[in-house]
Amino acid sequence: MHNLSTDTNIPKLLKDVGLRVTPQREAILNFLIHYEGHATVDDIYQAVHPTFPGLSVSTIYNTMKHFGELGLVKEITFGDAASRFDVNVQPHHHLVCKHCGKLIDFYLPQPPNFALPPDASGFEVEDYHLEVKGTCRECRDKERNEQTQ
């Protein structure tokens, strides 16, 4: 598990996880580190495509899968929506705005006690992710402004 930040030495990190350092991989990680939020493959593509026009969406998706396997990013999927990628790989959860799709990280001080159903006998919880849906401040403010007009 790696915590990426703006002072991460990307070439060293890539070498440390056994990857060859390429300008494309550096550009993708640099974008993710500086991106405010949880990027989709399309977000990454739009950002790096001007510099690397030969880089395909498929290559970016495969790179992100590989980064995920190495613990550099965490893939987040919500229903049928596009996968998003998070450089915060520490255990955390998400508030999800049901209007704009914005994700906000939040933390619980300790794992909750799960009351598993009787038919889950023998099930061992290895990981969990809590998704809390609601309306973000920006969408609430927008709704209020539309109602007062």
Domain boundaries, the chain: 10-84, 91-148
| pLDDT number for residue 57 | 96
What's the rounded mean pLDDT across residues 49-68? Answer: 96
The response to whether 139 counts as a known ligand-binding position is: yes
User: What is the third-level CATH fold of 91-148?
Assistant: Dna Ligase; domain 1 (3.30.1490)
99 labeled part of a ligand binding site = no
- DSSP-derived letter for residue 82 is P
Q: Taking the model in full, what pTM does it have?
A: 0.79
Has 120 been labeled as part of a binding site?
A: no
Per-residue pLDDT of 79-111, as tens digits, reads 667 889 998 888 888 898 999 888 888 888 777
97 marked among binding-site residues: yes
* Per-state percent for the chain, helix, strand, coil, to nearest 5: 35, 15, 50
Q: What mean pLDDT is predicted for residues 68-74?
A: 93
Domain 10-84 has CATH 2.60.40.10: no
Average pLDDT over residues 29-52: 95
3-state secondary structure of 39: strand
58 three-state secondary structure: helix
Mean of per-residue pLDDT scores for the chain: 89
Rounded to whole angstroms, the Cα distance separating 30 from 26 reads 6
pLDDT at site 53: 97
Give dist(CA 42, CA 61) in Å, integer. 9
Average pLDDT over residues 32-40: 92
